[in-house]
Amino acid sequence: MQQIFRGVGMKLQNCYKLAPNRVWRTYLGGKILDHISGKQEPQDSHFPEDWLLSVTPARNIGREDVSNEGISRVCDGEKTFLLTELTERFPEEFFGEAHCKSFGNSPEFLLKFLDSSIRLHMQCHPTVAFSQKHLGSNHGKTEGYYILGIRPGCEGYIYLGFQRQPDPAVFRQAVEEQNTGEILKYFDKIPVKPGDCFIVPGGVPHAIGEGVFMVEIMEPTDFAVRIEFERGGYVLPEAARFMGRGLDFGLSMFDFTARDMAATREAFFVDPLPLPVEGDGERFSLFDRRKTPCFRSEVLRVNGEAAVEHDSMRAVIVTSGSGRITCQDRSLELQQFDRIVIPAMQKRAVFHGEMELLTVLPPFPGK
């Protein structure tokens, strides 16, 4: 089962822990992530995200000289190395033959912790069709959110699509003049709580509220249009507002469909679908073809010992509890918020303990 890196003398293990991978963003947050990583004085800053599994570089205006920002590192004992060292040297062992035929050596998703201390900019991401036409990419930026917690004293909400349809000319003027009241009057706050799960398709405007701590799964790009230019005292440079283009280009990305609260939940919120599991546990599908072809995700609740098999690589996050994972001859102790990557060559994973885990997988080959 173990493989030797060509010319390096290292082994491709059956599972790895992933190292913390904080990334600079235009908004503030990250105090919870500081606490998770053991910092003595946790505080909010411009590092509110941890890119748990990523081969996607971060796009930050003015930080182009930061080497490998956004690229994950894997841990092997005391050593760490870039995830891309595995994906580039052993694509078929890491991803599986069928995946490589469909997608090459890309995981086809980007996985994050996001910890906001302020409401994020109202923003929008492209669909695949928009990216293919305008951005030279076969990926848009559909996103999936899984809520882990809400900070004490915070409301717990997101904005998600229009609840009232604006006149396009009036809305354009509001963005041009940065009339926040006019921009936000077409949106309602959508309450969220821990355990909520929902999809944000490309084209749907949205903003995450202050105090939301969540897992974010997305297509592997960092494309974004932001129609609010200042949040938390930071003013976006012009190149970061509409991806270096103009206002009309930015607004052409938007789906102006209006949905009331009930229709918003019907369109975007995900109901867990029971799946089989071996042993003592419960397993549910979250993101699947019901809502998106772009990525997959499951929840596993372990009450003793439970085993799951997959035919693709996957990332696993311990969202609560503690225990151990065993992948054939390799065993790792797990604490809350640990993250693991399991290559496709290792189909079976056994979990021991009392814990909840979120598993994220690539899309089905042939998507």
How far apart, in whole angstroms, are the C-alpha atoms of residue 217 and residue 339?
A: 14
pLDDT of residue 65: 83
Three-state secondary structure of 182-230: HHHCCCCCEECCCCCEEEECCCCCEEECCCEEEEEEECCCCCCEECCCE
Pair 113, 33: CB distance under 8 Å: yes
Among 346, 360, 349, 359, residue whose Cα is nearest residue 279: 349
Strand partners, 207: 159
**Residue 10's pLDDT is what?**
67
Q: Which of 324, 351, 337 lies closest to 112 in space, CA to CA?
A: 337
Q: Which is it for the CA torsion 297, 147, 270, 203, positive or negative?
A: negative
Q: Which one-letter DSSP state was computed for residue 131? A: I
Round to whole Å and give the CA distance between 133 and 258. Answer: 25
CATH superfamily of 20-71+110-257: Jelly Rolls (2.60.120.10)
Q: What pLDDT, on the 0 to 100 scale, is given for residue 70? A: 93
pLDDT number for residue 7:
40
Task: Estimate the share of the chain in helix, then strand, then coil, as percent rounded to the nearest 5.
Answer: 15, 35, 45
Residue 13: name the closest of 101, 71, 83, 72 by CA: 83
Q: Does domain 273-361 have CATH number 2.60.120.10?
A: yes
HSE of 143, CA atoms in CB hemisphere, 13 A = 27
- Alpha-carbon distances of 79 from 18, 132, 319, 346, 362, rounded to whole Å: 11, 39, 25, 21, 26
Classified as helix, coil or strand, 90 is coil
Half-sphere exposure of 317 (CA within 13 A, CB side): 22
Tell me the CB-side half-sphere exposure of residue 215, using CA atoms within 13 A. 30
Cα dihedral: 148, 154, 156, 159 (round 10)? -120
Q: What count of other Cβ atoms lies within 10 Å of the Cβ of residue 136?
A: 7
**Residue appearing with tokens 């999809």:** 199
Q: What b/e sequence results for 26-49 when a residue is b if at least 16 CB atoms lie within 10 Å of its CB, and e otherwise? A: bbbbbbbbbebeeeeeeebbbbbb
pLDDT one digit per residue (tens) for the chain, 367 residues: 444 444 455 688 999 999 999 999 999 999 999 999 999 999 999 999 999 999 998 988 888 888 899 999 999 988 899 999 999 999 999 999 999 999 999 999 999 999 999 999 999 999 999 999 999 999 999 999 999 999 999 999 999 999 999 999 999 999 999 999 999 999 999 999 999 999 999 999 999 999 999 999 999 999 999 999 999 999 999 999 999 999 999 999 999 999 999 999 999 999 999 999 999 999 999 999 999 999 999 999 999 999 999 999 999 999 999 999 999 989 999 999 999 999 999 999 999 999 999 999 999 997 6
Radius of gyration over alpha carbons of the chain, in Å? 20
In the chain, which residues fall in CATH 2.60.120.10? 20-71+110-257, 273-361
Distance separating alpha carbons of residues 137 and 134, to the nearest angstrom: 8
Question: How many residues in total does the chain contain?
Answer: 367
325, 80 contact by CB (below 8 A)? no
3-state secondary structure (DSSP) of residue 342: strand
